[in-house]
Amino acid sequence: MTATELVGLTAAEAIGRIRAGELEPAELWSAYQQRAQADDLNAYTWVADADAPAADPAAPLAGVPVAVKDLFCTEGIPSQAGSRILENYCPPYTATAIQNIYDAGAPLLAKTNQDEFAMGSSNENSAYGPVLNPWDRARVPGGSSGGSAAAVAAGLAPWATGTDTGGSIRQPAALCGIVGFKPTYGAISRYGMIAFASSLDQAGTFTRDVTDAALLLEAMVGKDPYDSTCLGLPEPVQPPTATDLRGVRLGVPEELSGEGIEPGVLAAFERTLDIARDLGATVESTHLPHAAHGLSAYYLIAPAECSSNLARFDGVRYGMRVDDGGGLLDMYTGTRAAGFGDEVKRRIMLGTYALSSGYYDAYYGRAQKVRTKISEDFESAFSAFDFLVTPTSPGVAFELGAKSDDPLAMYFNDFCTVPMSLAGIPALSIPNGTAQAPGGSSTELPTGFQIAGPAFSENKLLNAAYALETALAFDSSPAREAS
């Protein structure tokens, strides 16, 4: 097989060939390693330079290499979370989710670029430079897991891990035309995932298709004695097989599928609903009355938790230290002023304020109440519907720099994805076509279709997504061929 043919395989197809003895894992490794080393999207912050590691074709992932978001700690390998403050930081241990992937037989190919500490929706907040979208290099790949999304879309990796706090898997997957899956909060251990907002952070997958998502997810999930908030999943993740959506009730929350969504994205969304109906699903509009407040609640809860989670970066034990002999306070402020980027500082200040005595009830306390209301909205919606569907991102990929000076416009990227994060429920984005960017651009860019289900409904969700994916027959090859 040529290298181009090799990287055209999905991970599941590659595993099939390896098992059949038609493909050597080392061949696959070399093809991807070469592409990864030639990465010109800035998708990677570290690429393995070793020869192909020993692989076990009988292992679940059969030696198909994986790219890992830099937010995950990998022993002895730089894990910088997109931040200057962790430049060249090599942890002494490996995150549970990544160890699980190793144990399932997939070696580490590369670490992917990301927004600093997962704070961002465009990957422009990385201390290691922005990641380019393989569909149009003048545009962002989305964020915060932009490097993982771009790498998988461009064929620089068969698949990748990501983390999603308010949409950081689903939105970049949508903007790059691939599948992004954020499972139920607590399905995958957070141990070794550098924390942004602990009550929201959830690891997940970037894959070419839904079958690969099921495979990689099954490798990652599981209880962990090192994470008491991790429950695993009640049953193993199965490869999806559904060919129709007969009997499936889809709800379309009006609050997340109208105002503020680009017309091209909405048109693609409507076309997908038609396909769903053709497959036998019923589609009805519904309401999540508090969903519109999701962003406001999210931008209080996440910064509050981040202000505390990032306190440990103080220059004392690891990472950057700026100490010009001015004493302890000077070392703290010097280190953090030089080590953190603007968006991180903005959120630390927001969160510190929201937790301050006298403001706690009005901000953090109230945001938690909104969060509870949103969970209740979903609960009542799931009594009438199997899944709720929305556009994943309000728009297609935007141009680099377009929203850099407008934090609120940037935060709006998470409008459709944040409510599911607040409720802790599983949600997945599949590519459902392309649309032109607003403003007269003729470039066709991918759009995403989000499917959300009740907690622990992963297998059903994957099956519904698989049936839709098959009918949609989205062609993701242009992004690979351009790279």
Residues of the shown chain interacting with other proteins in the complex, contacts defined by CB under 8 A: 72-73, 79, 81, 86, 89, 91-93, 95, 190-195, 197-199, 225-229, 304-305, 307-308, 310-314, 316-318, 327-328, 332, 352, 355-357, 360, 364
Nearer to other proteins, 212 or 314 (CB): 314
**Cα torsion for 59, 63, 64, 67, to the nearest 10°?**
110
**CA 58, 60, 61: angle at the middle one, nearest 5?**
100
The one-character DSSP state at 365 is I
Please, what is the minimum distance in Å from the beta carbon of residue 69 to other proteins? 12
Q: Which is nearer to other proteins, 198 or 296 (CB)?
A: 198
Q: Are the CB atoms for 126 and 115 separated by under 8 Å?
A: yes
Three-state SS for 38? coil
Q: Closest approach of Cβ 357 to other proteins, in Å? A: 5
CA dihedral (81, 55, 42, 417) in degrees, to 10, reads: -60
Compute the least distance from the CB of residue 80 to other proteins, in Å: 10
Question: Of the candidates 61, 76, 60, which has an alpha carbon nearest to the alpha carbon of residue 28?
Answer: 61
What Rg, from alpha-carbon coordinates, does the chain have? 21
Q: Which is nearer to other proteins, 21 or 327 (CB)?
A: 327
Q: Strand pairing partners for 399?
A: 139
Q: How far is the CB of 227 from other proteins (least distance, A)?
A: 5
Q: Could you give the 3-state DSSP secondary structure of residue 193?
A: strand
Distance in Å, CB of 70 to other proteins, minimum: 11
CA 63 to chain centre: 23
Q: Per DSSP, what are the bridge partners of residue 253?
A: 286
Nearer to other proteins, 52 or 98 (CB): 98
CB count in 10 Å sphere of residue 235: 9
Active-site residues, by number, are 69, 144, 168
Token reading at 454: 């009740």
Q: How near is the Cβ of 361 to other proteins at its closest, in Å?
A: 12
Q: How distant, in Å, are the alpha carbons of 107, 191, 199, 313, 373 from that of 224?
A: 21, 8, 16, 25, 29
Can you list the alpha helix ranges (DSSP code H) found in 199-293?
Answer: 210-220, 263-278
CB 112 within 8 A of CB 44: yes
Please identify, using beta-carbon distances, which residue of 190 and 403 lies nearer to other proteins. Answer: 190
CA distance 76 to 362: 43
Q: Which two tokens stand for residue 86?
A: 């962790």
Distance between CA atoms of residues 348 and 274, nearest Å: 44
Q: 34 or 356: whose CB is closer to other proteins?
A: 356
Q: Output the smallest distance, CB 76 to other proteins, in A.
A: 13
Of 48 and 197, the one with the shorter C-beta distance to other proteins is 197
